[in-house]
A and B are shown apart, each in its own frame.
Chain A
Amino acid sequence: MIEVVRPGPLATVQDLGRPGYAHLGVPRSGAADAPSLRLANRLVGNPENAAGVEFTLGGAALLFHSPAWISVTGAPLDVRLDDRPQGMNTPVHVPEGGTLLLGVPPRGLRSYLAVRGGLTCEKTLGSRSTDLLSHLGPAPLASGARLPFGRVDTPMTVDSAPVPPLPDAPILRVVPGPRDDWFVPEALTALTSALYTVTPAGNRVGVRLEGPALVRAREGELASEGMVTGALQVPPNGNPILFLADHPTTGGYPVIAVVRHQDLPAAAQLRPGDEVRFRLS
Protein backbone atom coordinates (compact mmCIF):
# COMPACT_ATOMS: atom_id res chain seq x y z
CA MET A 1 0.00 0.00 0.00
CA ILE A 2 1.18 3.50 -0.82
CA GLU A 3 0.39 6.53 1.35
CA VAL A 4 0.19 9.92 -0.29
CA VAL A 5 2.22 12.27 1.92
CA ARG A 6 1.87 15.16 -0.51
CA PRO A 7 0.09 14.96 -3.89
CA GLY A 8 1.59 18.07 -5.55
CA PRO A 9 -0.69 20.53 -7.38
CA LEU A 10 -2.93 17.79 -8.82
CA ALA A 11 -2.55 14.02 -8.81
CA THR A 12 -5.20 11.61 -10.09
CA VAL A 13 -5.51 7.87 -10.63
CA GLN A 14 -5.60 7.08 -14.34
CA ASP A 15 -5.77 4.04 -16.58
CA LEU A 16 -6.74 4.14 -20.25
CA GLY A 17 -10.24 5.43 -19.50
CA ARG A 18 -13.80 4.31 -20.09
CA PRO A 19 -14.57 4.23 -23.83
CA GLY A 20 -18.02 3.11 -24.99
CA TYR A 21 -20.19 5.39 -22.86
CA ALA A 22 -19.95 8.66 -24.81
CA HIS A 23 -23.54 8.34 -26.07
CA LEU A 24 -24.62 8.46 -22.41
CA GLY A 25 -22.62 11.64 -21.82
CA VAL A 26 -19.58 9.97 -20.23
CA PRO A 27 -16.16 11.27 -21.35
CA ARG A 28 -13.50 8.70 -22.17
CA SER A 29 -11.10 10.17 -19.57
CA GLY A 30 -7.92 8.15 -18.85
CA ALA A 31 -4.28 9.29 -18.90
CA ALA A 32 -4.02 12.57 -20.84
CA ASP A 33 -0.61 11.43 -22.18
CA ALA A 34 -1.61 7.80 -22.69
CA PRO A 35 1.68 6.56 -24.25
CA SER A 36 3.57 7.70 -21.13
CA LEU A 37 1.27 5.65 -18.87
CA ARG A 38 1.53 2.66 -21.21
CA LEU A 39 5.32 2.89 -21.09
CA ALA A 40 5.34 3.19 -17.31
CA ASN A 41 3.23 0.05 -17.10
CA ARG A 42 5.39 -1.92 -19.56
CA LEU A 43 8.49 -1.05 -17.54
CA VAL A 44 7.10 -2.82 -14.47
CA GLY A 45 5.54 -5.73 -16.36
CA ASN A 46 1.94 -4.50 -16.06
CA PRO A 47 -0.73 -4.66 -18.73
CA GLU A 48 -0.67 -1.28 -20.51
CA ASN A 49 -4.10 -0.33 -19.18
CA ALA A 50 -3.22 -0.83 -15.49
CA ALA A 51 -4.03 2.15 -13.27
CA GLY A 52 -1.22 4.48 -12.19
CA VAL A 53 -0.97 8.06 -11.00
CA GLU A 54 -0.95 11.13 -13.24
CA PHE A 55 0.96 13.99 -11.57
CA THR A 56 0.53 17.58 -12.69
CA LEU A 57 3.75 19.58 -12.24
CA GLY A 58 5.15 16.86 -9.96
CA GLY A 59 5.81 18.02 -6.41
CA ALA A 60 4.63 14.80 -4.74
CA ALA A 61 5.84 12.62 -1.88
CA LEU A 62 4.72 9.00 -1.51
CA LEU A 63 5.41 6.64 1.41
CA PHE A 64 5.52 2.94 0.55
CA HIS A 65 4.12 0.75 3.34
CA SER A 66 5.01 -2.33 1.31
CA PRO A 67 7.86 -2.88 -1.15
CA ALA A 68 7.14 -2.31 -4.83
CA TRP A 69 8.66 -1.99 -8.28
CA ILE A 70 7.74 1.36 -9.78
CA SER A 71 8.53 3.49 -12.81
CA VAL A 72 8.12 7.19 -13.54
CA THR A 73 7.57 8.51 -17.09
CA GLY A 74 6.20 11.59 -18.87
CA ALA A 75 7.28 15.16 -18.08
CA PRO A 76 10.93 14.87 -16.89
CA LEU A 77 11.46 15.53 -13.19
CA ASP A 78 13.80 14.75 -10.37
CA VAL A 79 12.98 11.34 -8.85
CA ARG A 80 14.39 10.56 -5.41
CA LEU A 81 14.06 7.56 -3.18
CA ASP A 82 14.91 8.65 0.38
CA ASP A 83 17.21 11.36 -1.05
CA ARG A 84 18.95 9.02 -3.52
CA PRO A 85 18.45 10.15 -7.14
CA GLN A 86 16.73 7.64 -9.40
CA GLY A 87 16.20 7.45 -13.15
CA MET A 88 13.04 8.02 -15.09
CA ASN A 89 11.79 5.57 -17.71
CA THR A 90 13.31 2.63 -15.86
CA PRO A 91 12.08 0.24 -13.17
CA VAL A 92 13.00 1.27 -9.61
CA HIS A 93 12.68 -0.94 -6.54
CA VAL A 94 11.20 0.80 -3.50
CA PRO A 95 11.74 -1.00 -0.15
CA GLU A 96 9.13 -1.08 2.59
CA GLY A 97 9.14 2.30 4.33
CA GLY A 98 10.75 4.04 1.36
CA THR A 99 9.65 7.54 0.44
CA LEU A 100 9.50 8.53 -3.21
CA LEU A 101 9.92 12.24 -3.91
CA LEU A 102 9.05 13.83 -7.23
CA GLY A 103 10.49 17.25 -8.12
CA VAL A 104 8.95 19.82 -10.42
CA PRO A 105 9.39 19.25 -14.17
CA PRO A 106 11.32 22.12 -15.84
CA ARG A 107 9.22 21.49 -18.95
CA GLY A 108 6.15 19.47 -19.74
CA LEU A 109 3.19 19.12 -17.40
CA ARG A 110 2.21 15.53 -16.63
CA SER A 111 4.33 12.72 -15.20
CA TYR A 112 3.17 9.16 -14.57
CA LEU A 113 3.84 6.61 -11.88
CA ALA A 114 3.22 2.93 -12.49
CA VAL A 115 3.39 0.37 -9.70
CA ARG A 116 4.00 -3.29 -10.47
CA GLY A 117 0.61 -4.96 -9.96
CA GLY A 118 -1.29 -1.77 -10.80
CA LEU A 119 -3.38 0.37 -8.46
CA THR A 120 -6.50 -1.51 -7.40
CA CYS A 121 -8.88 1.29 -6.41
CA GLU A 122 -12.52 0.58 -7.20
CA LYS A 123 -13.58 0.69 -10.85
CA THR A 124 -16.40 2.90 -12.10
CA LEU A 125 -17.91 1.86 -15.44
CA GLY A 126 -14.97 -0.43 -16.10
CA SER A 127 -12.23 2.11 -15.34
CA ARG A 128 -10.29 3.48 -12.38
CA SER A 129 -9.71 6.85 -14.06
CA THR A 130 -10.60 10.08 -12.31
CA ASP A 131 -12.81 12.14 -14.60
CA LEU A 132 -12.68 15.72 -13.38
CA LEU A 133 -15.51 16.89 -15.65
CA SER A 134 -18.05 14.27 -14.62
CA HIS A 135 -16.73 13.50 -11.14
CA LEU A 136 -16.42 9.79 -11.88
CA GLY A 137 -13.75 7.54 -10.41
CA PRO A 138 -11.52 8.12 -7.37
CA ALA A 139 -11.25 11.64 -5.93
CA PRO A 140 -8.06 13.55 -6.78
CA LEU A 141 -5.36 12.37 -4.40
CA ALA A 142 -5.07 14.25 -1.12
CA SER A 143 -2.50 14.00 1.66
CA GLY A 144 -3.21 10.83 3.62
CA ALA A 145 -4.86 8.99 0.72
CA ARG A 146 -3.97 5.29 0.56
CA LEU A 147 -3.40 3.53 -2.73
CA PRO A 148 -3.65 -0.27 -2.75
CA PHE A 149 -1.88 -2.18 -5.50
CA GLY A 150 -2.15 -5.71 -6.83
CA ARG A 151 0.20 -8.44 -8.01
CA VAL A 152 1.23 -9.59 -11.46
CA ASP A 153 3.26 -12.61 -12.47
CA THR A 154 4.33 -11.41 -15.89
CA PRO A 155 8.09 -10.88 -15.93
CA MET A 156 9.69 -7.44 -16.16
CA THR A 157 11.57 -7.54 -19.45
CA VAL A 158 12.29 -3.88 -20.22
CA ASP A 159 15.29 -2.31 -18.47
CA SER A 160 14.87 1.20 -19.67
CA ALA A 161 13.22 2.95 -22.56
CA PRO A 162 14.75 5.68 -24.70
CA VAL A 163 12.35 8.62 -24.66
CA PRO A 164 12.90 11.68 -26.88
CA PRO A 165 13.01 14.99 -24.98
CA LEU A 166 9.94 17.23 -25.09
CA PRO A 167 10.27 19.83 -27.86
CA ASP A 168 10.83 23.51 -27.01
CA ALA A 169 8.01 24.72 -29.21
CA PRO A 170 5.89 21.77 -30.24
CA ILE A 171 4.21 21.65 -33.63
CA LEU A 172 0.95 19.74 -33.57
CA ARG A 173 -0.36 18.29 -36.82
CA VAL A 174 -4.06 18.88 -37.48
CA VAL A 175 -6.73 17.57 -39.83
CA PRO A 176 -9.08 20.41 -40.90
CA GLY A 177 -12.74 20.20 -39.91
CA PRO A 178 -15.25 18.89 -39.25
CA ARG A 179 -16.54 22.50 -39.17
CA ASP A 180 -13.81 24.52 -40.88
CA ASP A 181 -16.54 25.79 -43.24
CA TRP A 182 -17.96 27.79 -40.31
CA PHE A 183 -14.88 30.05 -40.44
CA VAL A 184 -13.49 32.57 -42.89
CA PRO A 185 -10.76 30.95 -45.06
CA GLU A 186 -8.09 33.06 -43.31
CA ALA A 187 -8.94 31.40 -39.99
CA LEU A 188 -7.37 28.04 -40.90
CA THR A 189 -4.36 29.92 -42.28
CA ALA A 190 -4.04 31.87 -39.03
CA LEU A 191 -4.35 28.69 -36.97
CA THR A 192 -1.64 26.94 -38.95
CA SER A 193 0.84 29.82 -39.21
CA ALA A 194 0.65 31.84 -35.98
CA LEU A 195 2.00 31.04 -32.53
CA TYR A 196 -0.60 30.23 -29.89
CA THR A 197 0.08 30.62 -26.17
CA VAL A 198 -1.20 28.22 -23.53
CA THR A 199 -3.22 30.07 -20.85
CA PRO A 200 -3.31 29.07 -17.16
CA ALA A 201 -7.03 28.19 -17.39
CA GLY A 202 -6.42 24.74 -18.87
CA ASN A 203 -7.03 21.39 -17.20
CA ARG A 204 -7.71 17.75 -18.13
CA VAL A 205 -10.79 18.91 -20.06
CA GLY A 206 -8.79 21.05 -22.44
CA VAL A 207 -5.88 23.35 -23.20
CA ARG A 208 -7.02 26.94 -23.55
CA LEU A 209 -5.08 28.87 -26.18
CA GLU A 210 -4.59 32.53 -26.96
CA GLY A 211 -3.53 33.89 -30.30
CA PRO A 212 -5.04 35.36 -33.45
CA ALA A 213 -8.83 35.08 -33.09
CA LEU A 214 -10.41 32.54 -35.43
CA VAL A 215 -13.19 34.46 -37.14
CA ARG A 216 -16.45 32.83 -38.11
CA ALA A 217 -17.95 33.13 -41.57
CA ARG A 218 -21.46 32.43 -40.39
CA GLU A 219 -23.81 33.45 -37.64
CA GLY A 220 -26.09 31.26 -35.61
CA GLU A 221 -25.66 28.26 -33.39
CA LEU A 222 -24.30 24.91 -34.40
CA ALA A 223 -26.61 22.01 -33.60
CA SER A 224 -24.93 20.16 -30.74
CA GLU A 225 -22.74 17.33 -32.00
CA GLY A 226 -20.29 14.74 -30.74
CA MET A 227 -16.76 15.90 -29.87
CA VAL A 228 -13.45 14.03 -30.19
CA THR A 229 -10.24 14.26 -28.18
CA GLY A 230 -7.87 16.66 -29.95
CA ALA A 231 -10.71 18.83 -31.28
CA LEU A 232 -9.95 22.55 -31.53
CA GLN A 233 -13.30 23.95 -30.50
CA VAL A 234 -13.81 27.65 -31.05
CA PRO A 235 -16.16 29.58 -28.74
CA PRO A 236 -17.47 33.01 -29.83
CA ASN A 237 -14.35 34.84 -28.54
CA GLY A 238 -12.31 33.11 -31.28
CA ASN A 239 -9.70 31.54 -28.97
CA PRO A 240 -9.53 27.77 -29.52
CA ILE A 241 -9.77 25.13 -26.80
CA LEU A 242 -7.90 21.89 -27.47
CA PHE A 243 -9.90 19.02 -25.97
CA LEU A 244 -8.06 16.48 -23.81
CA ALA A 245 -9.15 13.29 -22.02
CA ASP A 246 -12.01 14.67 -19.87
CA HIS A 247 -13.62 16.72 -22.67
CA PRO A 248 -17.43 16.90 -22.86
CA THR A 249 -18.98 14.31 -25.18
CA THR A 250 -21.07 16.85 -27.11
CA GLY A 251 -20.70 20.54 -27.81
CA GLY A 252 -22.31 23.41 -29.64
CA TYR A 253 -19.26 25.37 -30.79
CA PRO A 254 -17.72 24.57 -34.17
CA VAL A 255 -14.49 22.57 -34.38
CA ILE A 256 -12.11 24.11 -36.92
CA ALA A 257 -9.56 21.28 -36.88
CA VAL A 258 -8.52 18.20 -34.90
CA VAL A 259 -5.01 17.34 -33.67
CA ARG A 260 -3.71 13.99 -35.00
CA HIS A 261 -3.74 11.23 -32.43
CA GLN A 262 0.06 10.77 -32.52
CA ASP A 263 0.42 14.39 -31.40
CA LEU A 264 -2.06 14.23 -28.49
CA PRO A 265 0.66 13.26 -25.98
CA ALA A 266 2.56 16.46 -26.85
CA ALA A 267 -0.68 18.43 -26.47
CA ALA A 268 -1.19 16.89 -23.03
CA GLN A 269 2.29 18.08 -22.00
CA LEU A 270 1.61 21.75 -22.84
CA ARG A 271 1.86 23.94 -19.76
CA PRO A 272 0.72 27.50 -19.12
CA GLY A 273 2.99 29.95 -20.94
CA ASP A 274 4.12 27.42 -23.55
CA GLU A 275 3.90 28.38 -27.19
CA VAL A 276 2.56 25.96 -29.75
CA ARG A 277 2.14 25.81 -33.51
CA PHE A 278 -0.30 23.85 -35.62
CA ARG A 279 0.46 22.42 -39.04
CA LEU A 280 -1.87 20.93 -41.66
CA SER A 281 -1.10 17.35 -42.51
Chain B
Amino acid sequence: MRAVRRAGDGGLLVETAGLEDAHRLHRALRDAAIPGVTDIVPGERTVLLVAEPDVCDLDRLAARVATLEAGAAEAEDAPPVEIPVRYDGEDLGEVAELTGLSVREVVERHSAAEYSVAYLGFSPGFGYLTGLDDALRVSRRASPRTSVPTGSVAIAGPYTAVYPSPSPGGWRLLGHTDLTMWDVRRDPPSLLRPGLRVRFVPERTR
Protein backbone atom coordinates (compact mmCIF):
# COMPACT_ATOMS: atom_id res chain seq x y z
CA MET B 1 0.00 0.00 0.00
CA ARG B 2 1.30 3.42 -0.91
CA ALA B 3 0.65 6.48 1.20
CA VAL B 4 -1.56 8.85 -0.81
CA ARG B 5 -1.88 12.44 0.37
CA ARG B 6 -4.51 14.95 -0.73
CA ALA B 7 -3.28 17.97 -2.66
CA GLY B 8 -6.53 19.89 -2.55
CA ASP B 9 -9.76 18.62 -4.11
CA GLY B 10 -8.13 17.98 -7.48
CA GLY B 11 -4.76 16.48 -6.66
CA LEU B 12 -3.20 13.39 -5.10
CA LEU B 13 0.41 13.24 -3.95
CA VAL B 14 1.57 9.63 -3.92
CA GLU B 15 4.58 8.74 -1.79
CA THR B 16 7.10 6.39 -3.38
CA ALA B 17 10.02 4.35 -2.05
CA GLY B 18 12.42 6.59 -3.95
CA LEU B 19 13.25 7.94 -7.36
CA GLU B 20 13.16 4.66 -9.31
CA ASP B 21 9.85 3.75 -7.77
CA ALA B 22 8.55 7.23 -8.65
CA HIS B 23 9.55 6.67 -12.28
CA ARG B 24 7.94 3.21 -12.37
CA LEU B 25 4.73 4.59 -10.89
CA HIS B 26 4.85 7.55 -13.28
CA ARG B 27 5.01 5.18 -16.25
CA ALA B 28 2.34 2.86 -14.85
CA LEU B 29 -0.02 5.80 -14.31
CA ARG B 30 0.65 7.14 -17.81
CA ASP B 31 -0.05 3.69 -19.28
CA ALA B 32 -3.28 3.50 -17.26
CA ALA B 33 -4.59 6.66 -19.03
CA ILE B 34 -7.10 7.42 -16.27
CA PRO B 35 -9.98 9.62 -17.51
CA GLY B 36 -10.01 13.05 -15.89
CA VAL B 37 -6.31 12.96 -14.94
CA THR B 38 -4.66 15.87 -16.75
CA ASP B 39 -1.11 15.79 -15.39
CA ILE B 40 1.21 13.24 -13.78
CA VAL B 41 4.29 14.85 -12.23
CA PRO B 42 7.10 12.80 -10.69
CA GLY B 43 9.19 14.33 -7.91
CA GLU B 44 12.15 12.94 -6.01
CA ARG B 45 10.05 10.65 -3.82
CA THR B 46 6.52 11.33 -5.01
CA VAL B 47 4.22 11.33 -7.99
CA LEU B 48 1.58 14.05 -8.21
CA LEU B 49 -1.69 13.36 -10.00
CA VAL B 50 -3.67 16.39 -11.13
CA ALA B 51 -7.29 15.62 -11.92
CA GLU B 52 -10.36 17.53 -13.06
CA PRO B 53 -12.38 17.60 -9.81
CA ASP B 54 -15.68 17.58 -11.70
CA VAL B 55 -14.76 14.49 -13.71
CA CYS B 56 -12.73 12.43 -11.27
CA ASP B 57 -13.80 10.77 -8.02
CA LEU B 58 -10.69 11.47 -5.95
CA ASP B 59 -11.51 8.84 -3.28
CA ARG B 60 -11.77 6.09 -5.86
CA LEU B 61 -8.65 7.33 -7.63
CA ALA B 62 -6.71 7.35 -4.32
CA ALA B 63 -7.78 3.78 -3.57
CA ARG B 64 -6.77 2.65 -7.04
CA VAL B 65 -3.38 4.36 -6.90
CA ALA B 66 -2.61 3.05 -3.40
CA THR B 67 -2.68 -0.53 -4.60
CA LEU B 68 -1.44 -0.01 -8.16
CA GLU B 69 1.28 -2.51 -9.10
CA ALA B 70 3.95 -0.34 -10.62
CA GLY B 71 6.47 -3.17 -10.88
CA ALA B 72 4.84 -4.42 -14.06
CA ALA B 73 5.46 -1.14 -15.87
CA GLU B 74 8.05 -1.33 -18.61
CA ALA B 75 11.46 -0.26 -17.45
CA GLU B 76 12.99 2.73 -19.21
CA ASP B 77 14.81 0.90 -22.00
CA ALA B 78 15.77 3.77 -24.27
CA PRO B 79 19.54 4.03 -24.70
CA PRO B 80 21.17 6.95 -22.87
CA VAL B 81 20.89 10.31 -24.60
CA GLU B 82 24.38 11.56 -25.40
CA ILE B 83 24.93 15.26 -24.85
CA PRO B 84 28.11 16.66 -26.42
CA VAL B 85 29.71 19.23 -24.13
CA ARG B 86 32.40 21.83 -24.63
CA TYR B 87 33.88 21.99 -21.14
CA ASP B 88 34.79 25.67 -21.09
CA GLY B 89 32.33 26.92 -18.47
CA GLU B 90 32.94 30.09 -16.50
CA ASP B 91 32.91 28.29 -13.15
CA LEU B 92 35.18 25.38 -14.07
CA GLY B 93 38.16 26.83 -12.20
CA GLU B 94 36.05 27.68 -9.19
CA VAL B 95 34.58 24.16 -9.06
CA ALA B 96 38.10 22.70 -9.23
CA GLU B 97 39.10 24.93 -6.34
CA LEU B 98 36.02 24.05 -4.27
CA THR B 99 36.41 20.32 -4.82
CA GLY B 100 40.20 20.15 -4.58
CA LEU B 101 40.33 18.51 -8.00
CA SER B 102 42.11 19.65 -11.12
CA VAL B 103 39.99 21.08 -13.96
CA ARG B 104 40.78 17.95 -15.95
CA GLU B 105 39.56 15.71 -13.13
CA VAL B 106 36.33 17.72 -12.85
CA VAL B 107 35.68 17.19 -16.56
CA GLU B 108 36.61 13.51 -16.38
CA ARG B 109 34.36 12.82 -13.42
CA HIS B 110 31.44 14.78 -14.88
CA SER B 111 31.65 12.99 -18.23
CA ALA B 112 32.34 9.53 -16.79
CA ALA B 113 29.06 9.17 -14.90
CA GLU B 114 25.75 7.90 -16.24
CA TYR B 115 22.87 10.12 -15.20
CA SER B 116 19.14 9.70 -14.94
CA VAL B 117 16.52 12.43 -15.27
CA ALA B 118 15.04 12.62 -11.76
CA TYR B 119 12.33 15.12 -12.63
CA LEU B 120 11.79 18.30 -14.62
CA GLY B 121 11.00 21.71 -13.18
CA PHE B 122 12.37 25.24 -12.77
CA SER B 123 11.71 25.92 -16.46
CA PRO B 124 10.29 23.94 -19.39
CA GLY B 125 12.66 21.12 -20.32
CA PHE B 126 14.96 21.69 -17.32
CA GLY B 127 15.82 18.20 -16.07
CA TYR B 128 17.38 17.54 -12.69
CA LEU B 129 19.88 14.77 -13.41
CA THR B 130 21.00 12.40 -10.64
CA GLY B 131 24.12 10.29 -10.68
CA LEU B 132 26.63 13.10 -10.11
CA ASP B 133 29.99 12.01 -8.67
CA ASP B 134 29.94 12.82 -4.94
CA ALA B 135 33.29 14.60 -5.33
CA LEU B 136 31.54 17.17 -7.57
CA ARG B 137 28.94 18.26 -5.03
CA VAL B 138 29.17 22.03 -4.69
CA SER B 139 26.69 24.59 -3.43
CA ARG B 140 24.96 27.10 -5.67
CA ARG B 141 26.63 30.44 -6.26
CA ALA B 142 26.02 32.93 -3.48
CA SER B 143 24.52 35.37 -5.98
CA PRO B 144 22.74 33.88 -8.99
CA ARG B 145 23.52 35.13 -12.49
CA THR B 146 20.76 37.25 -13.98
CA SER B 147 21.05 35.37 -17.24
CA VAL B 148 22.51 31.95 -17.97
CA PRO B 149 22.75 31.18 -21.71
CA THR B 150 20.83 28.35 -23.39
CA GLY B 151 22.78 25.10 -23.43
CA SER B 152 24.83 25.81 -20.31
CA VAL B 153 25.83 22.58 -18.54
CA ALA B 154 25.90 23.15 -14.81
CA ILE B 155 26.03 21.52 -11.38
CA ALA B 156 24.56 22.29 -7.95
CA GLY B 157 24.22 20.01 -4.92
CA PRO B 158 23.54 16.43 -6.00
CA TYR B 159 22.38 17.45 -9.50
CA THR B 160 23.64 18.36 -12.91
CA ALA B 161 21.50 19.99 -15.61
CA VAL B 162 21.45 21.70 -18.98
CA TYR B 163 19.72 25.10 -19.18
CA PRO B 164 17.15 24.56 -21.98
CA SER B 165 16.49 28.29 -22.44
CA PRO B 166 18.11 31.49 -21.17
CA SER B 167 17.12 32.17 -17.57
CA PRO B 168 18.50 33.48 -14.30
CA GLY B 169 20.40 30.78 -12.47
CA GLY B 170 22.67 30.04 -9.54
CA TRP B 171 24.20 26.77 -10.69
CA ARG B 172 27.94 26.48 -11.41
CA LEU B 173 28.68 26.42 -15.14
CA LEU B 174 30.98 23.67 -16.41
CA GLY B 175 30.41 23.95 -20.13
CA HIS B 176 28.02 24.28 -23.01
CA THR B 177 26.14 22.09 -25.46
CA ASP B 178 24.71 22.99 -28.87
CA LEU B 179 22.11 20.23 -28.59
CA THR B 180 18.55 21.63 -28.57
CA MET B 181 17.08 20.65 -25.23
CA TRP B 182 13.75 22.42 -25.70
CA ASP B 183 11.81 23.29 -28.85
CA VAL B 184 8.08 24.00 -28.74
CA ARG B 185 7.76 23.00 -32.41
CA ARG B 186 9.07 19.52 -31.63
CA ASP B 187 6.93 16.67 -30.28
CA PRO B 188 7.76 16.07 -27.51
CA PRO B 189 9.19 19.57 -27.01
CA SER B 190 11.66 18.40 -24.37
CA LEU B 191 14.68 16.22 -25.17
CA LEU B 192 14.60 14.98 -21.57
CA ARG B 193 11.80 13.17 -19.79
CA PRO B 194 11.60 11.66 -16.30
CA GLY B 195 13.58 8.43 -16.02
CA LEU B 196 15.61 8.91 -19.21
CA ARG B 197 19.33 8.07 -18.96
CA VAL B 198 21.88 10.70 -20.00
CA ARG B 199 25.63 10.83 -20.68
CA PHE B 200 27.84 13.84 -21.31
CA VAL B 201 30.45 13.44 -24.04
CA PRO B 202 33.35 15.91 -23.99
CA GLU B 203 34.07 17.80 -27.19
CA ARG B 204 37.58 19.06 -27.72
CA THR B 205 37.72 22.60 -26.33
CA ARG B 206 38.71 25.29 -28.73
Residues of A within 8 A of B (CB): 19-26, 28, 124-125, 134-136, 174-179, 223-228, 230-231, 248-251, 255, 258-261
Contacts and interface: CB of A to CB of B under 8 A. Distances in A.
| 6 tightest A-B CB contacts, nearest first | A226-B48, A258-B8, A226-B41, A250-B121, A225-B43, A223-B44
A58 to B, nearest CB: 30
B38 A23 contact: no
Given A23-B26, A226-B43, A250 B119 contact: yes
A178 B7 contact: yes
B8 A260 contact: yes
A224 B7 contact: no
A230 B7 CA distance: 9
A116 to B, nearest CB: 26
Interface stretch (B73-81, B90-98, B189-197): B189-197
Contact of B125 (A19, A24, A250): A24
Contacts of A174: 8
B111 interface: no
A228 B43 contact: no
Interface of B: 5-11, 13, 26, 38-48, 50, 53, 119-126, 128, 165, 184, 188-190, 193-194
B194 A23 contact: yes
Which among A26, A28, A231, A259 has the highest number of chain B CB atoms within 10 Å? A26
Which among B6, B9, B128, B184 has the highest number of chain A CB atoms within 10 Å? B9
Given A125-B184, A225-B44, A226-B47, A23 B120 contact: yes
Nearest to A223: B44
Contacts of A23: 26, 39-42, 119-120, 193-194
Contact of A258 (B11, B120, B123, B190): B11
A228 B10 contact: yes
B10 A250 contact: no
B48 A26 contact: no
A255 B48 CA distance: 13
Contacts of B8: 174-175, 228, 230-231, 258-261
A225 B13 contact: yes
Contacts of B194: 23
B145 to A, nearest CB: 17
A224 B39 contact: no
A25 B13 contact: no
B162 to A, nearest CB: 12
B39 A22 contact: yes
Given A21-B124, A135-B165, 5 more contacts: A28-B38, A176-B6, A223-B45, A230-B8, A249-B121
Contacts of A28: 38-39
Nearest to A23: B41
Given A228-B48, A261-B53, A24 B120 contact: yes
B45 A19 contact: no
A228 B193 contact: no
B82 to A, nearest CB: 20
B121 A25 contact: yes
